[in-house]
Amino acid sequence: MKYELVVWDWDGTVLDSAGAIAHAIQAACRDIGHEPPSDEQARHVIGLGLIDALRLAAPELSPERYPALVERYRFHYLAGDHQLNLFAGIPELLSELQAAGHVLAVATGKSRLGLERALDHSGLRPLFQASRCADECHSKPHPQMLEELMAEFGVAGTATLMIGDTSHDLLMAQNAGVDSLAVTYGAHPHEHLLEHRPLACLHTVAELGTWLKTNA
């Protein structure tokens, strides 16, 4: 086994939620009378902590209006998050990795409350041994989430793998000195992911599973 610790991003990697997040960002901006970002701009900030994401999505907005934007974002996202689905094949892949002896963890831009809600709704809680969230660590691409997870399990960077769908995930991995895999079925386009030198860019969960079974 090359990678003892396999760390997963959540939105756009495990859960098919990137479109819903982008829509919620745009709807929140409209609600407070601010010009909404384009689809590309809204999807680019996915994976960051909420305040960092909204700051980039609406850079002209004055800071005193952030709380209103956050409240409207949460309203729109939570109105439909129970309808979001895991990417097909993800539960089976995670179960196989756990059975093979890998330690599985989550590093996400979600809040702790948001991740706990998602773990319960998805039924995946038993498969993950630890997690780090953006409201208890520095936001990606700062390496704190990965550094804390490696320290918790006593795993070296050379034995850790980060899997994500955004450049923020891949940059966090670089900053922490760990290898990364990119998936192209989430928020960021293939060409942007390639710029950050992941070990591979996988286009489907099936391709991801094949890579992991062969190389991890």
DSSP state of 88: T
- 53: nearest Cα among 162, 140, 146, 137: 140
- 92: nearest Cα among 181, 210, 215: 210
Return the SS3 of 147. Answer: helix
How far is 88 from 115, CA to CA, in rounded Å?
A: 19
Catalytic-residue membership of 9: yes
Catalytic-residue membership of 11: yes
Active-site option among 9, 81, 169, 179: 9
- Identify any residues that bridge with 180 across adjacent strands, giving them in sequence order: 162
The tokens describing 157, both together, are 């960077």
Active-site option among 11, 81, 169, 179: 11
Distances from the Cα of 102 to the Cαs of 59, 99, 159, 169, in angstroms? Answer: 40, 7, 10, 20
Residues assigned a catalytic role: 9, 11
